[in-house]
Chains A and B, each alone.
Chain A
């Protein structure tokens, strides 16, 4: 009666349980929902990056036939925000707009065409304010403040942490590498544009169907925004047509259609157009980094001092978490005795940044992995060997008190280099051709929720009845990653069922137990553990009843292939259905719940909550490139990626997650950028997204993708369901630095900023030809007023995980 032994479902390549719906057009995305009497909403958005609203004149629009309602900021007196510490948005602007695209008014009309026509009839009078277009301007201009909260002026968050005396460590190092890197912002670009339908039910309560990754957070936040009890709100997360972190915030339009539906007593739908999706953003922060790293002459790290400057855009979003994530995971990949991390997030008049696949960590990962390549070059070491030598050890604590469990990174490096023939290729491919390596690690779920509480992160409820059917209820959300498939697989494995016989009801706050949502790669681990717990409970009940019938003790029963049988004598058996009938007789109506809360993290200092995870995944990536020396044109013929997944639940889906991550990583490496145009300040205040379209924001086509060789490394993690860690974000992280390192191998130039475009390569080649430093990247790091560090001693320097006085450290050393 245990989950050990031969696995029948887990690890088998299968069609996903929701696969059929996806290929028949039956998967119902939010915009596919049509309800009787449904009206349509469109939003009027700000044409100015920073302005006060003096007046909104809606009279003409109201009179347009077919218009039912116009809403403005007056209808929404309460702020909202996804994080409790950043309640800084209004559904419709309350006297102030902070970026081009900030919503001002909403029209609800009989159809979208009419609503659009009405938008043109609304007149808004503005008083323009100074445009703050980047973090440096934000630092130089504390006034006008974009928000009247935040750490100072136009700085949203500014912080510093030091784990052991880093200056001392660097002073004692054989070499110190001091590098600047810049990672341009980019966005999620799901092919599905955000859509929501809100409808009042017969009792006047609200249902919201939405393309969201986080129905529970939306539920909570919506209750506050609408000033309505959560018990009167039901949020249903429709399957997402791609999320990647872009559907993790409560969005203005979700609140607006909810309010409108309640006011009008009719369903109201909105579907953003592509330009608006670019404005919702919440994507990758542009980050400028300075990284000082000490190494011994044999390539061991002695300490690192990382400074980051994030361009946050116009609102908080997940920014406080993002700010932490640009630093906290630098320690979990390689042994790093001491670490200091300063971070600053500035407000600017652009669409707000937030979490995109890898949340905050790809930027410093890029810097670290490129810097390691420079270190290897200088020390004349093979960069793969150098990494193998410093891979973090399993079951250890890091300098910043994160707990590493299993770590398959060394095996990832070995496999990726073996499969790519690394030894034969590195520095040997001839002019214009090169190969590069980089590694990474990522969370399998954030250790803490975004609002502080001690309740479970994931809950699963099971229903089984005499028909033999099993239904699983869970708040988790299907965004393409296959969360329904994982859920069905876990339950099926425990109960010895066929996963296709299990019905999943997910992402519905009225029906399903809370799960925090599809972000931070948490679903497989957290939902999976909760599902196993629930299934084991149900199994115990069924086994007890079946044992009585078969006259054996429950522990001698096995569940498999839809039957319950005596382990040593499979002829003595019941069908699963019969066994459930007996259990229903014995116990009454059957049901079981399971829940999961991550283990408490060892760090005790303020801020220690960001970074801990039940398990970390690891990846190693090798990229081959061809660079044309005359034009800088870059071609990528092949990518190898080895990913430490713990255990593979469904290899088809796992490979898909890894390859999808590589795709997005390569796109970030070579072409994607969320960039803005500032018109000449003397002539205009304008600051607009340069390319808010699927044509000009470049996402690679099938012709632009190289072959990917995916290697899944299995080393089951005891904290994870059947040992399975995440696969959906980690494998993105090493791709960008591996590309940069391969370009260096090919043509000997360093591009220390992303994306790496042919013009930058050509510029670096020209510098090289002129005998100058063949590098393109940021040249300076501005003066940032980082505060005095919170000082924490690393575990091996006698710390207890709490903040300590710096003097304690001096005493120890």
Chain B
């Protein structure tokens, strides 16, 4: 049986209290929300926090509000996000395809955004990693994916982040000195080790999403459940009454160490209609930014080759094409 290492457990009742514990304990303390990412990592000794600061008992993180847009407390579970009728399409589609039913019942939206980066050289037991003499990300000094690289290139594997970036969402981070709000894309750094711009004492408390977007999320993975994305394409558009694109935001997940906004492709779409040509050109633009590496499931050249197809699916769906059969074949259930 894989077991957790010893830890001390704290259950603050407020965000301020949690921030204070984090600040006081320093790097030895870690937040735990649903635990579905942190606990496997602890069992594999990726993270061995001295103190676990649980967010479960903080009622404010379970809030939801609905005005001009929507705002989710970071402690809402993915199941709660899915069941909420106000959840924008792309976020719904992303959340509904995370992991499994059980994991979505435990896993939170905040935890999903702060998910550790992944790599098949890293997401292994301690014993296994010993056999490769570890790697840059933890306990070693070589990156086995790119042996010349000084930087860890582990993959951002959160499904909801690209969806939220496309939806132009913002997150609130609250630390001891106070809180700040930043766009979701700014939460991330393109570094497999230091992948968040969150400060050590900060807690992600809220995710707010403006209204008015038509959006979609397409996830590539091997099986219909469990599997992390090996490519995530999220697109949000605002159309004029003549179906001309006014605003566009395209984001990719599982294509680098961070989920990111594709400015060029987004800019390209503005003022255009979704003709076949525009879709083809945009898809190529999008695919050119996907730079898969050999550290996830499936062949990396193939992942590169199909990126434009996936982008095309997303755009065609937003145009109003009936993509249900394709969706079913890829997601293996009606998303």
Contact = CB atoms under 8 A, between A and B. Distances in A.
Q: Do chains A and B touch in the complex (CB under 8 A)?
A: yes
A48 B124 CA distance: 16
Contacts of B132: 677, 679, 684, 686, 688
A671 B332 CA distance: 15
A686 B131 contact: yes
B301 A628 contact: no
A698 B222 contact: yes
Contact of A698 (B2, B123, B223, B333): B223
B297 A273 contact: no
B120 interface: yes
A758 B225 contact: no
Interface in B102-137: 120, 123-125, 127-128, 130-133
Nearest to B225: A701
B3 A759 contact: no
B124 A692 contact: yes
Contacts of A696: 120, 123, 297
A704 B223 contact: yes
B303 to A, nearest CB: 8
B224 interface: yes
Contact of A45 (B127, B297, B333): B127
A168 interface: no
A683 interface: yes
Contacts of A691: 120
Contacts of A702: 224-225
A680 interface: yes
A810 B64 CA distance: 88
Interface residues of A, number: 43
Contact of A628 (B123, B127, B144, B329): B329
A690 interface: yes
A703 B302 contact: no
B302 A47 contact: no
A271 interface: yes
Contacts of B120: 690-691, 696
A631 interface: yes
Given A686-B131, A703-B224, A113 B125 contact: no
Contacts of B305: 631, 762
A273 B131 contact: no
B267 interface: no
B323 interface: no
A759 B124 contact: no
A781 interface: no
Interface string A592-627: 000000000000000000000000000000000010
Determine chain B's interface SS by DSSP, over half rule. loop
Interface in A89-126: 100, 112-113, 116
A633 interface: yes
Contact of B128 (A688, A698, A704, A757): A688
A47 B127 contact: yes
Interface residues of B, number: 34
Which of A632, A696, A702 counts the most chain B CB atoms within 10 A?
A696
B39 interface: no
Contact of B133 (A113, A631, A684, A701): A684
Contacts of A683: 142, 147
A575 interface: no
Given A273-B125, A633-B329, A701 B224 contact: yes
A277 to B, nearest CB: 12
A275 B3 contact: no
B227 interface: yes
Given A271-B1, A698-B223, A635 B329 contact: yes
B226 interface: yes
Interface in B128-169: 128, 130-133, 142, 144, 147
A398 to B, nearest CB: 40
A299 B330 CA distance: 39
Contact of B332 (A47, A680, A703, A762): A703
B182 interface: no
Contacts of B227: 695, 698
A100 B3 contact: no
Contact of B223 (A275, A626, A628, A701): A701
B299 A701 contact: no
A275 B127 contact: yes
B302 A762 contact: yes
B49 to A, nearest CB: 17
Interface in A681-722: 683-684, 686, 688-693, 695-696, 698, 700-704
Given A626-B329, A679-B132, 16 more contacts: A45-B127, A273-B125, A275-B125, A632-B306, A633-B330, A671-B222, A683-B147, A692-B124, A692-B128, A695-B226, A696-B297, A698-B297, A703-B333, A757-B298, A757-B302, A762-B305
- The 8 nearest A-B residue pairs measured at CB: A703-B224, A759-B302, A759-B299, A703-B332, A47-B131, A701-B225, A631-B306, A47-B130
Interface of A: 45, 47-48, 100, 112-113, 116, 271, 273-275, 626, 628, 630-633, 635, 671, 677, 679-680, 683-684, 686, 688-693, 695-696, 698, 700-704, 757-759, 762
Interface of B: 1-3, 120, 123-125, 127-128, 130-133, 142, 144, 147, 222-227, 297-299, 301-302, 305-306, 309, 329-330, 332-333
27 contacts: A47-B127, A273-B2, A274-B2, A275-B124, A275-B128, A626-B329, A631-B305, A679-B144, A680-B147, A684-B132, A686-B131, A686-B133, A688-B132, A691-B120, A693-B123, A693-B124, A695-B226, A696-B123, A696-B297, A698-B297, A701-B223, A702-B225, A703-B224, A704-B223, A757-B299, A757-B302, A758-B298
